[in-house]
């Protein structure tokens, strides 16, 4: 347990579907348990193999994004429960071979997030912590996951949803949009054609020709080189329409978008807001927090960094994000 002047952090284990998953509960410090906290926030991680702090050891990348955000929110009077992804370097351990294999899927992400919501409630109850509201928050791909939880019976009782840098389209279209980030301009047209070919094979669940797996990088070759389990995950994730889920959300929703987000640019946040405003009473149940100058990890980074350096930049998340979320929650 790490104690500071503004928050206290408890290490936890999320036992779910045959896995033991590192988790953490951040609470304000000091805290009078006779008084309810402003909220309990379940923080659902995004794509790739992130540990409980939002670091990516398998990539040697340590942005610490979820620890920063949880601690900043706790310092403002919120309980925050976060957890690691399944995968190498994250500390997640399978303890039941059969059950653990069944949730290494796209739908398994929603089931684990729902289990984390229940685990958060148990952790709070065991410490006698009362909260005024319960919020589901998801970052990037996690925004789609938390939307799936919030629109299901598993998410009953959520008082609000926060979509942090959430996409408005499936993962394969996001990859196509990102092609320019890792491809020289003179090679971009050819790279997109190759990526479109691979995406077509993957969506049709057809074998991908071996020659499309050559070349390395994060585009077509990466998709074509994936094992079948990973391809199935990508296919199922891509088939989930984030805007269709957003349209079904009955809770108040805050969309948080960074102005310098090159991974999920601002037009995605704007598209989600447009969908949310179209709901019944959408005007009163939708808010947009646009934070100029921050990246996908909600940080202001030095100029001149490569995409990978920007992704893993270790500085704290910008305080405007936690401040905006805090204000929105307290208005609910």
Q: What is the DSSP letter of 198?
A: H
Give yes or no: residues 35 and 129 share one domain.
yes
Give yes or no: residues 96 and 157 share one domain.
yes
Give yes or no: residues 165 and 177 share one domain.
no
Give yes or no: residues 152 and 290 share one domain.
yes
Range of the domain at 197: 173-236
Give yes or no: residues 204 and 159 share one domain.
no
pLDDT attached to residue 1: 40
Our CA angle for 91, 326, 2, nearest 5°, is: 40
Give yes or no: residues 179 and 265 share one domain.
no
Give yes or no: residues 151 and 182 share one domain.
no
pTM metric for this prediction: 0.92
pLDDT in tens, the chain (332 residues): 444 579 999 999 999 989 999 999 999 988 777 889 999 999 999 988 999 999 999 989 999 999 999 999 999 999 999 999 998 999 999 999 889 888 889 999 999 999 999 999 999 999 999 999 999 999 999 999 999 999 999 887 899 999 999 999 998 888 888 776 666 777 777 778 888 888 888 889 888 888 887 765 567 788 888 888 888 898 999 999 999 999 999 999 999 999 999 999 999 999 999 999 999 999 999 999 999 999 999 999 998 888 888 889 999 999 999 999 999 999 99
Give yes or no: residues 72 and 123 share one domain.
yes
Give yes or no: residues 267 and 142 share one domain.
yes
The CATH number linked to 272 is: 3.40.50.1820
Give yes or no: residues 194 and 309 share one domain.
no
3-state SS class at 224: helix
Say which residues have a Cβ less than 8 Å from residue 6's Cβ, sequence separation at least 6.
Answer: 28, 29, 71, 74, 75
Report the run of H or E that residue 240 belongs to, with start and end: none
Residues 6 and 30: beta-carbon distance below 8 Å: no
Residues 68 and 199: beta-carbon distance below 8 Å: no
């Amino acid at each position: 347990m790490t104690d500071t002047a503004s928050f206290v952090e408890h290490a936890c284990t999320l036992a779910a579907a045959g896995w033991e998953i590192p988790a953490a509960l951040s609470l304000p410090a000091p805290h009078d348990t006779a008084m309810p906290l402003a909220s309990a926030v379940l923080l659902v991680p995004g794509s790739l193999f992130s540990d409980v702090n939002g670091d990516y050891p398998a990539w040697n990348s340590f942005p610490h994004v979820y620890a920063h955000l949880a601690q900043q929110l706790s310092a403002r009077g919120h309980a925050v429960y976060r957890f690691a992804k399944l995968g190498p370097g994250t500390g997640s351990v399978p303890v039941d071979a059969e059950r653990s294999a069944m949730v290494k899927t796209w739908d398994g992400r929603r089931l684990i997030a729902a289990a984390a919501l229940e685990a958060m409630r148990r952790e709070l109850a065991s410490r006698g912590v009362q909260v005024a509201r319960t919020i589901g928050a998801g970052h990037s791909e996690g925004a789609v996951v938390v939307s799936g939880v919030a629109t299901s019976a598993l998410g009953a009782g959520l008082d609000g949803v926060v979509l942090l840098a959430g996409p408005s389209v499936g993962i394969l279209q996001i990859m196509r949009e990102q092609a320019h980030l890792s491809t020289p301009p003179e090679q971009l047209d050819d790279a997109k054609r190759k990526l479109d070919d691979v995406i077509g094979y993957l969506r049709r669940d057809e074998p991908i020709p071996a020659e499309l797996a050559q070349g390395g990088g994060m585009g077509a070759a990466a998709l074509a080189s994936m094992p079948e389990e990973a391809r199935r995950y990508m296919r199922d994730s891509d088939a989930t329409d984030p805007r269709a889920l957003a349209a079904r959300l009955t809770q108040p929703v805050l969309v948080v978008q960074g102005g310098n987000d090159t991974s999920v640019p601002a037009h995605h946040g704007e598209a989600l807001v447009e969908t949310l405003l179209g709901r019944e009473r959408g005007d009163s149940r939708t808010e947009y927090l646009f934070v100029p100058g921050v990246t996908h990890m909600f940080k202001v980074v030095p100029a001149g960094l490569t995409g990978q350096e920007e992704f893993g930049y270790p500085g704290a998340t910008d305080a405007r994000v936690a401040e905006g979320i805090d204000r929105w929650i307290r208005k609910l």
